[in-house]
Amino acid sequence: MPPAARTSPQSPATHGPAAPRGSVWLHGLHPVAAALANPARRLKRLLLTEEAEATLQARLPQPWPLPSERADRTKLDHLLGRDTVHQGAALLADLLTPPALSTVLERPGPVLVLDQVTDPRNVGAVLRSAAAFGAACVITQDRNAPEETGVLAKAASGALEQVPLLRAVNLARTLAALKAAGLWVVGLDSGGAALRGTAFAERRVALVLGAEGTGLRRLTRDTCDEVAGLATPGLMESLNVSAAATVALYELGRAS
């Protein structure tokens, strides 16, 4: 079953600043610049300090898709939260509409599947690694996964605009759909034999990563074609999920 989009209103207590239903406040120079350059984004308001506007202009010369509004840091702190690292830039935009799985698979590269990874910073970091190593997409669950938020986009550092983020209603069925499309589904777990990228030289891989602590759920693990781990000769037995994704993508890239 193809992943399905899901939208919900932003909750200031858990997701950052309140935004109209179906939209999100993006913040930080990299996420804002990437969103401005993304023709698939529907943009609503752009708030910039004088310094941020000059920096953004150097990175992305005008004209921009919408005019900017001058704001001071106090206003942005109030809007986004005092602890938000906004770098003087905030952009109100509609949530992205994810493409169909069949469309995404026309893109080259491996696929990353996240099994109940709930931390938006981890999901954002995985997206950043996916962009760096040419992954086709990242798939999360419809439930037990973070919504598209400014925190997630900031951690992705612009990659949210470059790598499709899909949401699967049923992860096991989505893994079955990936298999039917010719991908070899590899679950990443410390109990598996060491992942060797050269072993997949003739195969396109869907890499499945579980949440920290609990790892892959039993049904997810059983649905994989095989389970592999990362060789960690040092003192740490496991890695943060986003770090594990980076190492695994690098290892898979050795096969090309």
Q: What is the signed CA dihedral for 112, 169, 39, 11, rounded to 10 degrees?
A: -110
Q: Taking all residues of the chain, what is their mean pLDDT, rounded to a whole number?
A: 90
Sequence-ordered list of residues with C-beta below 8 angstroms from that of 125, at least 6 positions apart, any chain: 155, 156, 242, 245
Residues with Cβ within 8 Å of residue 69, at least 6 apart in sequence: 45, 46, 47, 48
| 226 in a structural domain | yes
- Separation between Cα atoms, residue 140 and residue 157, nearest integer Å: 18
User: What digits encode the pLDDT tens for the residues 163-220?
Assistant: 999 999 999 999 999 999 999 999 998 778 889 989 998 899 999 999 877 789 999 9
| Cis peptide bond prior to 63, omega within 30° of 0 | yes
Query: Helix, strand, or coil here: 228?
Result: strand
Who has greater pLDDT, 205 or 239? 205
* Domain assignment of residue 163, yes or no: yes
- Closest Cα partner for 82 from 148, 16, 29, 146? 16
One domain, residues 126 and 208: yes
Domain with 51, as residue range(s), is 23-94
pLDDT of residue 96: 96
Count: domains in the chain: 2
Residue-wise pLDDT tens digits, 52-80: 999 999 999 999 999 999 999 999 999 99
Q: Name the band, by pLDDT with cuts 50, 70 and 90, for residue 8.
A: very low
What are 179's two structure tokens?
A: 């298999």
87 shares its domain with 106? no
Q: Which of 134, 136, 138, 92 is nearest to 115 (CA)?
A: 138
Residues 197 and 135 in one domain: yes
pLDDT at residue 233 tops 90: no
DSSP string, 126-153: HHHHHHHTT-SEEEEESSSS--S-HHHH
Regarding whether 121 and 57 lie in a shared domain, the answer is no
Check residue 236 and give its pLDDT.
56
Say if 2 falls within a structural domain.
no
In a domain, residue 170? The reply is: yes
- 232 shares a domain with 188: yes
Where do we find the tokens 């206003």? 75
Q: What share of the chain is helix, strand, coil (3-state, %, to 5)?
A: 35, 20, 45
CATH code, domain carrying 131: 3.40.1280.10
Distances (CA, A) of 36 to 45, 128, 150: 11, 18, 15
pLDDT, position 11: 39
State the sign of the Cα–Cα–Cα–Cα dihedral 35, 139, 19, 153.
Answer: negative
Of 240 and 29, more confident: 29
Query: What integer pLDDT is reported at residue 87 of this predicted model?
Result: 96
Q: Which residues pair with 92 in a beta bridge?
A: 25, 45
CA distances from 67 to 33, 46, 64, 91, 106 (A): 13, 7, 7, 11, 35
